[in-house]
Amino acid sequence: MSDDIKAKSNPVTGNPLPELETAPKPIALMETVTLVSLALAVASLVLFAWIAGSLSHAWVRNFDFTIRNKVHEYASSALTKWMIWISFIGGDGLVAGAILSVTLFLVFRWRRAAVWMLVNICGTLILDLTLKYSFARLRPTPFFVPMPRTPSFPSGHSLFSFCFYGVLAGLLADRIDSRRWQVLIWTFAVLLVGAIGLSRIYLGVHYPSDVIAGYLTGTLWVSTMVALDQIKKKRRERSMDLSAN
């Protein structure tokens, strides 16, 4: 892990500098990440606006009911139990996971990771509530569980799972040197986030367009955070270079 890097001394005061959570990245890589993140943010915003503006159109209704009914064809008692459990991981289980992750980050002195996660979750919550009550889309009739009390669009489970598990995977992978473990972490996160979205369609508490909109909102938020973080890093490094000169 890159957190094991030895602390260096400040050349001016002689005091030890805080340990780095992650190894420094090349400037070219940071600039590429910034551009890609901004491009993803713009693309997800455009797609979200397109879906949101088409909710009353016939093609969206046909798409939603076709996918919803197709998924329901595979329903079984055993699969329903699994889907309820997976949905829990994207709901109450996610809340517990967020609290545990921030606590462990602080225990391991990964302060930057803890701040990242706190800002991420708070921003996701604001986005979820603002969008849900702005569009106030009625939910479909559930197949297997009680009707949730909040509006349907976008899917909060999809949004939160994308933002939490996606960011958690990024924070962990960025602090692990093993390429194999990085691939495993990202693969697990992608499969879990996808399964949570599918579970909401299977249980009948969301339309497919709700789930897609949740993922797009998550992409917009996380990409914006990554871009701003990279810009901040770049400015800080320039400032340090000027101070050294």
Residue 109 included in any domain: yes
Residue 177 included in any domain: yes
Residue 11 included in any domain: no
Q: Which domain holds residue 32?
A: 26-235
Residue 20 included in any domain: no
Residue 17 included in any domain: no
Q: Give the 3-state secondary structure of the chain.
A: CHHHCCCCECCCCCCECCCCCCCCCCHHHHHHHHHHHHHHHHHHHHHHHHHHCCCCCHHHHHHHHHHHHHHHCCCCHHHHHHHHHHHHHCCHHHHHHHHHHHHHHHHCCCHHHHHHHHHHHHHHHHHHHHHHHHHCCCCCCCCCCCCCCCCCCCCHHHHHHHHHHHHHHHHHHCCCCCHHHHHHHHHHHHHHHHHHHHHHHHHCCCCHHHHHHHHHHHHHHHHHHHHHHHHHHHHHHHHHHHHHC
pLDDT in tens, 21-70: 565 565 666 677 788 888 999 999 999 999 999 999 999 999 999 999 99
pLDDT value at position 206? 97
- Which pTM value belongs to this model? 0.85
pLDDT value at position 18? 42
pLDDT value at position 238? 66
**Domain total for the chain?**
1
Residue 240 included in any domain: no
Residue 72 included in any domain: yes
pLDDT in tens, 224-240: 998 888 887 777 766 66
